[in-house]
Amino acid sequence: MWAAINAFPEGFAFTSKDLADIANPAVIRQTLGRLAKSGKVRRLLRGVYDVPRKSLILNSPAPPSINSIAEAFARAHGWTIVPTGAAALNLLGLSTQVPATWTFLSDGPSKTIMWEAGRIEFKHRTNKEITLLSPTTALVVQALKELGQEGINEEIIAVVSKKMSAKEKEIALREAKIVTSWVYETIKSIFRYGVNPDA
């Protein structure tokens, strides 16, 4: 089982459900308990672990990824989630502020998780911007909505454009036709950013 866990990227948060095809729940629980005691994995909150990243500056385990924790929790429950508000801005590099509360829209029930580093909120929504958009498109849409139409400028478009791959931009351009018109127009600008019109 350690071989499977060790194959996860550093900082990747997971639950026993991510290992369900390897062993039965009792064996997984016992193994995770031993690995946590040895320091090979880190118990973040009940049922959620990660393979700690090393901080070269502090020479100690780096803080866990809040987004990865939320994604692990959502996978275990079969939810689709989308970061929203300050969390979306932080993940896209549009804000350096680390929110005390990370908020995610979810097609699961509303739920709040409290832990030592803050709070994770899942807010139930049943809308097309959660289930019909790819994760990157949904993240961009939520970040733009948080900024508002008046908050969009060339610098914002440049930052988001550089965060997205060419493939992600193509997907976003295709998917975002269903969202609010000004958001879609902004995504078109993100898609076109840096393209030489004479090329």
Q: Does the pLDDT value for residue 177 go beyond 70? A: yes
User: How many CB atoms sit inside 10 A of residue 177's CB?
Assistant: 10
Taking only the tens place, the pLDDT of each residue in 40-66 is 999 999 899 998 887 766 677 888 889
Q: Does the pLDDT value for residue 197 go beyond 60? A: no
Give a yes or no: residue 16 inside a domain. yes
Measure the CA angle with vertex 154, ends 103 and 197; round to 5°: 125
Q: Does the pLDDT value for residue 126 go beyond 90? A: no
Question: Could you list the residue range(s) of the whole structural domain that residue 35 is in?
Answer: 2-61
Amino acid at position 15, single letter: T
Residue ending a domain, among 61, 88, 111, is 61
By percentage, how much of the chain surpasses pLDDT 70? 95
Alpha-carbon distance 16 to 21, whole Å?
A: 10
Residue 71's Cβ-side half-sphere holds a number of Cα atoms within 13 Å equal to: 14
Alpha-carbon distance 110 to 133, whole Å?
A: 20
User: What is the number of structural domains in the chain?
Assistant: 2
Q: Tell me, what's the pLDDT at 72?
A: 96
Let me know whether 88 and 55 are in one domain: no
Give a yes or no: residue 199 inside a domain. no
pTM for this predicted structure: 0.88
Rounded to a whole number, what is the distance in angstroms from the first to the last CA of the chain?
52
Q: Which residues pair with 113 in a beta bridge?
A: 120
pLDDT, the chain, mean:
91
Q: Which two tokens stand for residue 197?
A: 């019109």
Let me know whether 43 and 101 are in one domain: no
Helix (H, G, I), strand (E, B) or coil at 129: helix
Taking only the tens place, the pLDDT of each residue in 4-34 is 998 998 889 999 999 999 999 999 999 999 9
Q: Which two tokens stand for residue 64?
A: 């866990």
Of 184, 137, 141, 142, give the one whose Cα is nearest residue 165: 137
Let me know whether 87 and 115 are in one domain: yes
Q: Does the pLDDT value for residue 199 go beyond 80? A: no
Let me know whether 49 and 90 are in one domain: no
Between β-strands 101-106 and 111-115, what pairing exists: parallel, antiparallel or unpaired?
Answer: unpaired
- 51 near 19, Cβ under 8 Å? no
- Residue 89, classified by CB atoms within 10 Å of its CB into exposed (0-12), middle (13-18) or buried (19+), is buried
Let me know whether 167 and 92 are in one domain: yes
Let me know whether 169 and 89 are in one domain: yes
Give a yes or no: residue 47 inside a domain. yes
Q: Does the pLDDT value for residue 198 go beyond 50? A: no
